[in-house]
Structure 1
Amino acid sequence: MGWWGHLGGLKQRGIVTYSLSPFEQRAFAGALHQAIFNTFRRTTGQVLYIGIPFGLAYGTYSWAKKNHEFRLSKEGHAFYGAGEH
């Protein structure tokens, strides 16, 4: 036995061996198909956690925007009695 890199034995030349793991042959086989159905399954599982708060936030935002516009209008000033000082 020799030192590091020189372990003794005969030198082999011209022998090149390549192999490919079965897991690397088709790494993305079915990835797009699985991604579509997995995304749908995960989205339907989270819709209550995201949809309800989003709906409440959007409803609050649209109500506040309409209320603000009404309060800035002539009808809003007359309804709330602003400007009678």
Structure 2
Amino acid sequence: MAGGKWMGWWGHLGGLKQRGIVTYSLSPYEQRAFSGALHQAVFNTFRRVSAQVFYIGTPFGLGYATYVWAKANHEFRLSKAGHAYYGPGEH
């Protein structure tokens, strides 16, 4: 009891009609939040990666080309032809 008037049980308060209560509902079109998420994720990922490929691919390509050249040069310097070209002391 509050102030001499029975308020009722939870959900049935029995008081005056309240004002300013707003209720919300979803339309049937908004209830499928992830309806196209996987399809959109594939194309969005492709778009974002293709926009960054020059920023990532160029340094990666240069680094890989340097690695391939250094490995081939090292193998050549360890071979007979490399020893004949550079001399036995320079590896």
TM-score (norm. length: structure 1)? 0.71
Q: Paired residue for 1:60?
A: 66
1:1-80 maps to which residues of 2 (within 5 A)?
A: 2=2, 9-11=7-9, 25-80=31-86
RMSD between superposed Cα atoms in Å: 2.7
Structure 2: give runs of 5+ residues left out of the alignment: 12-24
**Bigger RCO of structures 1 and 2 (CA < 8 A, at least 6 apart):** 2
CA distance in 1, matches of 2:37, 2:52: 22
Identity percentage of aligned residues:
65
C-alpha separation between the residues in 2 aligned to 1:68 and 1:12? Answer: 82
Give how far 1:11 is off: 1.6
TM-score (norm 2): 0.67
Distance 2:82 2:56 in 1: 35
Measure the CA separation in 2 of the matches of 1:12 and 1:52.
66
Task: Give 3-state SS (helix, strand or coil) of 1:25's partner.
Answer: coil
Say which structure is richer in helix.
Answer: 1
Letter in 1 for 2:8: L
